[in-house]
Structure 1
Amino acid sequence: MLYAWVGLAIVVMCTIQEVYHHATFGMALLECIWLTIYLTLVNYVLFEYTVPRLRVRKFYIGILLFVLYIFLFTALFHHWAQLGHLLHLNDDYIDPPGKHHDLGEEASFSIPSAFIFGIVSHLYKHAQLRQTAQQLRIEKQTAELNYLKSQTNPHFLFNTLNNIYSLARDKSDQAPETILRLSKILRYMLYEAGGSFVAVEQELKVIGDYISLEKLRYDESLRINFNYDVEDMKQAVPPLLLMPMVENAFKHGASETRIHPFVDIHLSIAQRKLAFYVRNSTEEHNGNGQVRENIGLSNLRRQLELLYTDYEVSVEQKQSEFSATLKINLASHV
């Protein structure tokens, strides 16, 4: 199809030139169509079959092919034009008897056409390669993102099932309610979180359900503060993107704190700027300030790399407190 469009452009240019040199429009159009058909076929074979199969080591074959195409663009092209004259498609190829025909006239038309076809073909294939590379990059990122989600969801389920196991082992009356809340979260993960985006109100609801699930494990000593200030509750966000930070606060914070455990969670979204703060208690930390991230936070960082170009994740470990901050420009989605 590409060569047909290039051939059509050559027909237009050729017709304009012939009409300018006092040829009638009808005859100029027929002549140009006839000549361009030949050139289109020759250039198609040249750039689609011959050039891609050339090998540098077989230099002599390259020389032979060069001679062959010079013949195709001159002598054989001249015979094609003469055939057109016999079919009454042009009037320009009548030579006086005994006069040797100068093939320069054919070359002045055919050789430039080879440059036109060659340049357009190269640009088109380059654009196709870039598009293919872009598509492969997107497919690779999508596959990696799905893999990260497949890691995050079982990680979440593993933590929750451990909670239910602890309640069931102690024969707690809270076990049935825990299973009911887990079923709600599972329904969300199966039917809502499969797409690329969900409304932020859905994300807040599943976070609320998860917090309620965690509350069942603790007595009144656990202090939880969960609040949000969202400009548009229909704002689209990736599903379960915020959950790793919430999980981390309970699993590696509150559950390991013996005295006055607490979890503070705050979400704000304004003008497509998301800020998510999670702070939780920890046991006294005597390290050098370095933070060892678990699989949840590591996966979160990688998902953000694949989803957004403008974001920031920071964590801070104090003596008896851990905090994580996530900031995203939601308009920077790739």
Structure 2
Amino acid sequence: MKYIILFSLCIGLFILGMTVIRIGMFNISGNRLKVLLKKLTSSPAKGMVTGTLVTAVLQSSSTVMVLAIGLISARILTFPQSIGIILGTNIGTTFKTELITFDLGRILIPIAIAGGLFILARNVVWRSLGMVLLGIASVFTAMKGFEMLAVPLTSVDSVSRLLMSLNEHLLIGIAVGACMTAVIQSSTAMTGIAMGFLTSGVLGLEAGIAVMLGANIGTCITALLASIGGGEEARLAAFAHVWLNVIGVMLFIPLIPVLGSLGPDLAKSPDVQLAHISVIFNVLTSLMALPFAERFGRMIMYLHAR
């Protein structure tokens, strides 16, 4: 029980860190990013580039989707304009996945101290920078916790059985990744947990890929919740986000063994392998969908317009 409690605390610390980073980055550049979303979405290609950049800065695809849905609800953006943004958020979110693979263990304490000092400053920019640094320290501390607790958790019968089923049945991995992400509201946190188990050797790369794919579906719940009461076009944008991720995952399920065998050629460390495979998945699905963006939008309207 103590390992499960500690693991839950690590999840909370990870999510808290990502939230603090997001708030700090938004304080620094939020208004400019809103203007960017409004101006540079005249075509799906421009929207994809804009969505990628804004997501990379805010470190949260869910936040950018909520921003986009808010702008649609306010009739500043239209549903067709949001399709490019959706494609871009899936690419931009991979920056976080790559970020959490860095080894900052030796400088975590100096980063946390610097963040604590900066957050006391009167200047908004310095305070926001302090939040970003504290958030980074929290995220990487949580990642260390995932790695340290992965092996002890295997002594818990229910966890051991779950890990065995994940390694043996890829569809269970996708389902677990989707459900867990829907609960904790962070695909990056779910991928980070998978990385911790990968690094400790208790989870295979193919199972980690399955969990990552499931996390891409589970993260759509945030957009669906944000669209409630936001009007017809906001609802369509949320459904477009769901369909894009579900179709992408379905297309990649048969390729999981191929990606698993490709992993060692991409990097030595299994967590970095998973991060690179996440980039491959998200970039390829967005690029494949881009030429069909307008027809995809019409399909969503046909399926979900009232």
Tell me the TM-score normalised to structure 1 length.
0.22
Structure with the higher strand share, 1 or 2: 1
Larger Rg: 1
Q: Which has the higher contact order (CA 8 A, sep 6+)?
A: 2
Structure with higher helix content: 2
